[in-house]
Amino acid sequence: MASASQVHAAAQTREKRRVTFGTIQIPETAKRLINQALDTTRISSGRLVRQFEDRFAELVDAPAAVAVSSGTDADILALALLRDYGAKTGDEVITPALSFVATGNAVIHAGFTPVFVDVDRSTLNIDPAQIEAAITPRTRAILAVHLMGKPAEMDAIQAIADRHGLAVVEDAAEAHGATYKGRKVGSLADLGAFSLYVAHIVTTGEGGVITCRTSEQAEILRSLRSHGRACKCKVCTLNTASGYCPKRFDPQSGEDIRFVFERLGYSCKMNELEAAIGLGNLENYQTILDKRRANLRHVLRRFERFAPYLFTIREEPHEQIGPHAIPIVLGERASFSRAELTNYLESNGVETRTLFASMPTQCPGFAHLGYRLGQFPAAEYLGRRGIHIGVHQDLELRDMDYVLEILDEFLETHQD
């Protein structure tokens, strides 16, 4: 091990790089489609949104997809759909304690009660062995999260759901491009919810999309995203050149179907400009995915050298991790703090993010649910000691090597 003075000397001569967390690309196709939409003045949800939905469904091997205004809305609507199949306000949805706060928020905004289950520290995902103990007569669904793009153990989760008659929803916000036992994330459960925020592989700037298995589910989702209205056809003739819809007025009452509301709904449609960005982005999907995957794997294959002071996730033979970011967690033997690590990385040009938190016990917004600190030890540990960094397509392998070098330097000077 080099001395502190040697490490300092090396740092003085090293070229400083900037390793950002995220990026967005708006290709020429997207710009052309945006301008077309602007020229026609048809910028509300229409033709481009439908095209994006069809392309995204094909991408993840799902029968259908419905676009919305955010990944959080995707979670909310995927859960709210359960009301059409008998779920009631206050019923329970099981979900992991560790996730971006949108996961827990979505359960509540859909009208349900989140029931949190601890995670496996090595995978960051819900621990299937702890799920059944959380099931009650009011449980209606399991909302599984593929955190940091690592697929949850879906076979075990689905087996539990089948035994208890529960729906399963994938929160695949960070899992674009992930596969589990040869199947694509987003096609593994009853519904899948993706974020299309700027940091993700497929982006519309803001936005989200729900993948589903049946045309009936897609119709319900289209109704939910537009106030619960009865007008829910995949192709809206009012948005076509003719502007005539034979379904619009009831022949007896003359009631306008656009003002018939079948269910409690939301207002979260995607617009044409966002869909244009998404369609342009999809043209480069495979290139972006391959680049990110190479960056991620480059680091994961070299990370063992930091044990036992730092650890990360592993890609198992049965899966492909969706290359969203690299989680870094302080091991129990680390004598330094997370703040020391993040300050060192940031001061050397490596942008960081906190690895979320235990929603029920480390996020004050969930205090009313009555959970107590200590109930979710793995999630709380990760919430205190985890960060993540980027692997996006504008980074090169030399940037990944730079990150590894900075981590080497940090451990040389901060670990006994």
Supply the pLDDT for residue 2. Answer: 45
Is the sign of the CA dihedral 387, 392, 395, 400 positive or negative?
A: positive
Supply the pLDDT for residue 46. Answer: 87
Alpha carbon 406 to its chain's center:
28
Which single residue is written with the structure tokens 């077309």?
A: 36
The predicted-structure confidence for 236-248, as pLDDT tens digits, reads as follows: 766 665 677 778 8
3-state secondary structure of 320: strand
Closest CA to 120 of 86, 84, 156: 156
Topology classification of domain 4-23+284-414: Aspartate Aminotransferase, domain 1 (3.90.1150)
Measured from the Cβ of residue 275, the count of other Cβ atoms closer than 10 Å reads 29
Q: How far apart (Å, rounded) are the C-alpha atoms in residues 403 and 399?
A: 6
Supply the pLDDT for residue 251. Answer: 80
Q: Which residues pair with 93 in a beta bridge?
A: 114, 141
298 is catalytic: no
Torsion of the alpha carbons at 303, 21, 279 and 213, rounded to the nearest 10: 60
The predicted-structure confidence for 279-312, as pLDDT tens digits, reads as follows: 999 999 999 999 999 999 999 999 999 999 999 9
The predicted-structure confidence for 31-55, as pLDDT tens digits, reads as follows: 999 999 999 888 988 899 999 999 9
Rg, C-alpha atoms of the chain: 23
Q: How far apart (Å, rounded) are the C-alpha atoms in residues 202 and 52?
A: 11
Measured from the Cβ of residue 7, the count of other Cβ atoms closer than 10 Å reads 17
Closest CA to 207 of 266, 274, 149, 273: 274
Residue type, 106: A
CATH of domain 28-282: 3.40.640.10
Domain ranges of the chain: 4-23+284-414, 28-282
Supply the pLDDT for residue 96. Answer: 98
E-assigned strands of 240-377? Answer: 310-311, 319-320, 325-330, 353-354, 357-358
Supply the pLDDT for residue 238. Answer: 63
Within the chain, which residues score under 70 in pLDDT? Answer: 1-13, 237-242, 416
Pick the catalytic residue: 200, 298, 388, 392? Answer: 200
287, 277 contact by CB (below 8 A): no
